[in-house]
Amino acid sequence: MDEMVTRRKNQPPPRHVVFDDLVNPGRETIRPWLHLLDDETLPRVIESEPPSLVVWSSLWPARPGALIRFDLADDGTGTSLRWTLLLDPPHPDDDVVRSLRKRIDRLINANLRFTYGQ
């Protein structure tokens, strides 16, 4: 698999809290954050190493081979969260990759982050 795009952003809570949210993406919470679109499906956790790694299956049935990898590290005040979109060749064009990036970024660096009061 090839790394298509990656983003890193700090999340306010400790690493174990973010890890728990990522390994339980479909659970009922007071502040739900994983709002899936009509062409998306709930990801499965393919791999996890507490509290520093989570790998999701694809959100997109049309791209079943896609993976999303999350690397979590302590940053002194919260969590440094890096997500990476991994795809097998042949790769989609830049516009498709850009839309996938924006969607993951929205879910993780907006929706999830907002549940932590940011």
Question: Please, which pLDDT band fits residue 69 given cuts at 50, 70 and 90?
Answer: very high
**pLDDT digits over 5-18, tens only?**
999 999 999 999 99
Q: Are 113 and 17 in contact (CB under 8 A)?
A: no
Sign of CA dihedral 56, 72, 49, 90: positive
Return d(Cα 40, Cα 117) in angstroms, integer: 26
For residue 118, what pLDDT is reported? 60
**For 55-79, what is the mean pLDDT?**
96
**pLDDT digits over 81-114, tens only?**
999 999 999 999 999 999 999 999 999 999 999 9
Q: Kindly tell me if the per-residue pLDDT of 26 is higher than 90.
A: no
Tokens 């973010």 sit on residue = 18
For residue 7, what pLDDT is reported? 97
**How many residues make up the chain in this entry?**
118
**How many angstroms from the chain centroid is the CA of residue 1?**
17
For residue 109, what pLDDT is reported? 94
Q: What is the separation, in whole angstroms, between the first and last Cα of the chain?
A: 33
**pLDDT digits over 31-48, tens only?**
889 999 999 999 999 999
